Amino acid sequence: MMLSLVRTFRVATVALLGCSLLGNDAAHAAKRPNVLIILSDDQGYGDVSAHGNPVLKTPQLDKLHGESIRLTDFHVAPMCTPTRGQLMSGCDALHTGASSVCAGRSFLRRGTPTMAEIFRASGYRTGHFGKWHLGDSYPNLPHHRGFDETVHHLGWGITAMADTWLNDCFDGRYFHNDELKKYPGYCTDVFFDLSMQYMRERQAAGEPFFVYLPTNAPHGPHWVAAKYEEPYQSLGKAAAFFGMIANLDENLGRLDAFLRESNLYDDTIVIYFNDNGATGGRDIYNAGMRGHKTTYYDGGHRAMCFIRWPGGKLRPVGDVAELTQVQDLLPTLVELCDLKTPAEAKFGGASLAGLLRGTQKKLAPRTLVVQYGQEPKKWEACVLRDKWRLVHGKELYDVASDLAQERDLAEKHPEIVAQLREHYEQWWSGVEPRLYDFSPVSIGAPQANPVMLCSADWANVYCDNMNDLRTGKRINGPWHVLVEQAGEYEIELRRWPREADAPITAPLPRFQAVDGFLQTGVALPIEKIRLQIGDALDETRPVAADDKMIVFTANLPAGKTVMQSWCYKADGTPLCGAYFAYVRRK
C-alpha cells in the first residue's frame, strides 16, 4: 500500500525518535501484544470442516481451530451491522443504535467509544481492511472512528446500494481513507495482502498494532475464481459460496505463514469469528442447529470464535463451553492488552481474560439478550441463560439436550420463562426510549462536502441492494440528517448515481462482472420529483426525458432535520423516492 508523504514522514520520525516522541504510554504499549481480528461475513457456525461439515474442506481454519481456545457457546447478532457495532463498542446493538444493516440504523451513536479509538488512545496503531458497514459518510467511516488507516468498500459489500458503481469482486475499487483507488486482484486476497503489509510496516517502525480484517466473503454476490468453486460444483448454488470460503481459508494459510516468518506469531492475539448464522451452506450442514441468519434460534446467532495467543501464557488450547457473546471481546482485550478505558465506555459484555488465562473456571451467572432489527419490536428477541433459550418471549428450549430446538418446554418450566421474561422486561426498558432516536447523517461539515446519501439510509425501510435500484423498487423513506452549519444548500436528486451518468427515466444495460452479472436496469415513468426538508423546503419540479438530476436549493438552519423525496408518475401516483441525493453546502 502506498502511503502518503506525510504519513511516511510520520512513520520515519516515530522510528527515529521512539519513545521520546510518543511518551511513556507508547513505551508501555510496545511491550503489549499485537491484536488481529478476522471477521468473516455470512459464514455459518457449520461452515468449517473442524465443526463437522461433511463437504467443505478448510484445512487452514482447522489448523487455527486446533491451535486456539474455542468458545463453543459464543453468540453474535443474526445480521451483519449489529454484530460489527457490538464488536466495536462492547454494547448491545439496541443500545448503540446500530441495529440494522440499513434503514437509518447502521451507525453507532456519536460519543460511543470504539475498539479502535480505545486501542489508539493506548499507543497502538490501528488498521482496517475490508468491510465496515457502520456508516458510509462522515463522521461514521472507519478513519473517523479510530482507525489510522483503512481500505474499505461502502455498504454491506460489493453491489450494495452505497458501494462504488459497477464495482466487482475482481480488481475492485475501494476507499483508502477518503481516496477511491483500484486494487488489482480478488477482494479477499487484497484485504489480506493489505493487512499483512500494514503489520509489516508497524513491526518495522516498532509500533504495536491492532488490525481489523473483516472480509466481505462469503457474503453475496458469490463471485469467485472457478478453481475454488469447481470442487463443489455438485452442490448447485452453494458451490460458489463454499468456493469463497475455500479462498478465505487459503488466505488464512498465507497469513499464518507470514506471522511465523516475521516473528509476529507468538506476540499476536488472533481472533477469528463469523458475524451471523448460516446462509449459503445451511441446507448442507448447520451443525445440528435450527435457524439461520436473521432468526432467533441458535442457528441464527451462535458463531465460531477461535482465540490464539501462543506467547500469552493462556490456558491449554481446547473448548470453553461458557455462555459468551461478541460484546465480551472488547473488555477482554482491554484487560489482556492493559488498555485505558474512557469514562464514557459502558460495556455490556464481560472480560473473558480469566477464562482464557485459566485463572477462572466459570463466569458469574449471566443472562444475555440477542436482538437486532429494522424496526425493533418487543419480544422479537432471544434471551439466553446457561442452557436455556427463550425465543420470542414464549418458546423455551434446552439446547444442552435439544440443540435442534424441536421441543418447546415453556409449559413444563413456567418458572424459567417467568425469570427470563423479567430479565428481558428490565433490559427492554433500558433501550426502548431511544429506539426512534436515529443517528443522523451529517451534511455541510467542512470534513465532507458534498455528501452522498442513498436509499440504504431511508429510515425504517429496506432498499439497500443494486437490484432494488435496477428493478426500480417501489419504496420510499426519509433521511434523518444533521445540518452541521447553517447556510445555503444545493440538493441534487437522482435515480441513478452520478457515476452512471444516466437520465432519471432511462433504463440501463446489464452489468457483466468477471464471475457474474447485475440485471438490466428498468426505465421508470417519473414525471416530477418533490423534495421536503423539515420546514425549510417543500418543492416539486418536473422531470424531462433527458434530465439526469433535479437540483433544489434551500437555506437550512443548523441542527437535526428530516429530508424526503418523492418521484411521481404523470397522474400523481407516487413511484418511489429518489434513490440518491448529493448535498452540498454552497
- Tell me the domains of the chain and their CATH numbers: 33-359 (3.40.720.10), 377-434 (3.30.1120.10), 441-585 (2.60.120.260)
pLDDT of 521-535, one tens digit each? 999 999 999 999 999
Look at residue 294 in the predicted model and tell me its pLDDT.
Answer: 98
Cell of 171: 480488481
Average pLDDT score over the chain? 94
Q: How confident is the model at residue 31 (pLDDT cuts 50, 70, 90)?
A: confident
Residue 279 is given by DSSP the state -
Say if residues 479 and 441 touch (Cβ distance below 8 Å): yes
Evaluate if residue 355 carries a pLDDT over 90: yes
Pick the range with the lowest mean pLDDT from 7-11, 312-316, 498-502, 534-538: 7-11
Q: Which of 35, 220, 40 is nearest to 131 (CA)?
A: 40
Say if residues 387 and 398 touch (Cβ distance below 8 Å): yes
Average pLDDT over residues 346-362: 96
Say which residues have a Cβ less than 8 Å from residue 113's Cβ, sequence separation at least 6.
89, 342, 344, 345
Q: When comparing pLDDT for 7 and 311, which is higher?
A: 311
Q: How confident is the model at residue 18 (pLDDT cuts 50, 70, 90)?
A: very low
Q: How confident is the model at residue 28 (pLDDT cuts 50, 70, 90)?
A: very low
Alpha helices, H only, 4-72: 5-17, 19-29, 59-66
Which 3 state secondary structure label does DSSP give 329? Answer: helix
| Extended strands (E) in 163-309 | 173-176, 179-182, 209-214, 268-274, 302-303, 305-308
Say which residues have a Cβ less than 8 Å from residue 393's Cβ, sequence separation at least 6.
378, 379, 381, 383, 421, 424
Say if residues 177 and 143 touch (Cβ distance below 8 Å): yes
Cα of first residue to Cα of last residue in the chain, in angstroms, is: 35
Which residues are paired to 574 by β-bridges?
568
Alpha helices, H only, 230-268: 238-261
pLDDT of 220-277, one tens digit each? 999 999 999 999 999 999 999 999 999 999 999 999 999 999 999 999 999 999 999 9
Please state whether 283 falls in left (phi above 0), alpha (psi between -120 and 50) or beta.
Answer: alpha
DSSP for 487-539, please give it: EEEEEEEESS-GGG---TT--BPPEE-SS-EEPPBPP----EEEEEETTTEEE
Provide Rg for the chain, Cα atoms: 24
pLDDT of 123-165, one tens digit each? 999 999 999 999 999 999 999 999 999 999 999 999 999 999 9
Look at residue 36 in the predicted model and tell me its pLDDT.
Answer: 99
Q: How far apart are CA 61 and CA 97, in angstroms?
A: 33
Look at residue 555 in the predicted model and tell me its pLDDT.
Answer: 98
Q: Which of 247, 202, 214 is nearest to 61 (CA)?
A: 247
Phi first, then psi: what are they for 78, rounded to 5°?
A: -80, 15
Look at residue 553 in the predicted model and tell me its pLDDT.
Answer: 98
Cell of 192: 489480506
